[in-house]
Amino acid sequence: MAPDYRLLAESWLADDPDPASRAELSRLIAGLPGTEDELRDRFAGPLTFGTAGLRGRLRAGPNGMNLAVVTRAAAGLVAWLAEQGGKGPLVIGYDARHGSREFAEQTARVATGAGREALIMPGLQPTPVLAYAVRALDAVAGVMVTASHNPPQDNGYKVYLGRELGGPGGDGAQIVPPADAGIEAAIRAVGPIADVALGSPGTPVDSKVIEAYARSAAAVLAEGGPRDLAVAYTPMHGVGGATLLAAFDAAGFPAPAVVTEQAAPDPEFPTVAFPNPEEPGAMDLLLALASATNADLAIANDPDADRCAVAIPAADGGWRALRGDELGALLGDHLIRRGVRGTYATTIVSSQLLGRLCAARGVPHAETLTGFKWIVRAAEELAYGYEEALGYCVAPGMVRDKDGITAALTVAELAAALKAEGRTLADRLDELAAEFGVHATDQLSVRVDDLAEIGAAMTRARQAPPATLLGLPAGVTDDEANNVLTFRTATARAVIRPSGTEPKLKAYLEVVEPVADGDLAAARTRAGDGLTGLRREIAAALGV
């Protein structure tokens, strides 16, 4: 029997604490039957804890981010923490997105209403600062209200655990199974919202914690190194600007030039189509500023500053954005050269270069499933972790998550040291390519309207895998438990998986070309041609 969407909406409406959401649903109910498709989408099911906790569109109903959903999530989280016997406060942070502050304050009231101390960050803060505070304040858990680099109509709710429940490797890290399932079950068990007790708005975190983050970030760098570097920077309408500038100052770098149009937090992200440094055009204003100021380096954070993008001067006089794998290899190599001990980790979809570099240097290396919640748990003595989607953890003892601020400082340290020698990041990339071969990477990303299309494409590739890729025999590895399909030859690899945060099917492509007779340009041309061919063959295998 088809659900009665009017009945579902009216039932939700009666329990919704937000007048704006109630008015929104009332309009949709009044518009029936013309609004049935919209109501069907909102009541198709509740948001569930995924790769990044809760994330969805700001709208009324269970399949959206709104005060009712956040109240239930907070009540479920607090109940689960109590069931686990977790002691200590819940620390809560928020960014500049629509609804973020209200969602954070409601979470604090739910926590105090349940008898747990709630510490709320002082104003808008980057996600890595919240992750740092979980450790610094010995909190039982942390909540960060953000949708990271998603479009402006979205918001989200990330959950971190402290040492007591997360263990040494998960102290200040995002939740993983079985915690996510336990929290999800606790959320489902929450009764009427009217019965959720609300307490005081919590206690503001002392601003000294924020200052301590900046000092700790600066201390990640080696003492006494060169600091002569001209940097152009954008926080991309997000909340990382003040923190990054404070960290650069504490580290002794000149103040970066900041993109004026993108300097202030703005939930509408008016100058970019998508507030993601990986998206075409998102860094245009930054690169224009870098050219105008004759910068050595251009750096962008995403809106919650947990990711870091870097562009370098190109031979043609313009700028070239580094791929996430290129920056990942540069940072890993730099930390190894600095003598930072421990395990160096990346994911199954990132380039194989870091693993080969670690093998050559005699350094422990680990490969994990996609997501920083797995990377930071690769080893208790983690030295460094990265993923190709511009996420870097250069100081796991400080922030057990990706951190775009400390990553920016570390690449600045490397660039300044190379500049002092009359060299550049491009020169260092050339050296790595000459030693290990050109590792060219790219993505085939297919956005869908119907999630069933992803399953159908994966099925086609499983049932008729390509026998060859780029003319070489191809082997296949099928990790059905994690829905990851890998095709591999002696010189090429394609890792295929559904996105954990968006309605996309992604294929991560890599071609490795040795450098013959020192001819880097020829090797890069061959690798680029190989990527073009690999993309075409994988698209055919998927039927997309």
CA 28, 53, 95, 257 torsion-angle sign: negative
| 386 bridge partner residues | 392
- Given a contact cutoff of 8 angstroms between Cβ atoms, the answer to whether 54 and 69 are in contact is yes
The strand pair at 472-473 and 154-161 is best described as unpaired
The DSSP annotation for 163-230 comes to HHHH-GGGTTEE--TTHHHHHHHHHHT---GGGS------EEPPHHHHHHHHHHHHHTSPTT------
Tokens, residue 438: 């050109």
- Taking the C-alpha atoms of residue 495 and residue 420, their distance in angstroms, rounded to an integer, is 39
Give the separation between CA 224 and CA 236, rounded to whole angstroms.
31
Task: Determine the 3-state secondary structure of 343 from DSSP.
Answer: strand
Structural tokens at position 144: 């960060």
Distance, CA of 513 to CA of 440 (rounded, Å): 8
For residues 303 and 148, the answer to whether their CB atoms sit within 8 Å is yes
Burial class, 27, CB count within 10 angstroms (exposed 0-12 / middle 13-18 / buried 19+): exposed
Q: Name the residue type at position 495.
A: V
Query: Distance (Å, rounded) from C-alpha 55 to C-alpha 48?
Result: 8
Question: Which residues participate in catalysis according to the annotation?
Answer: 148
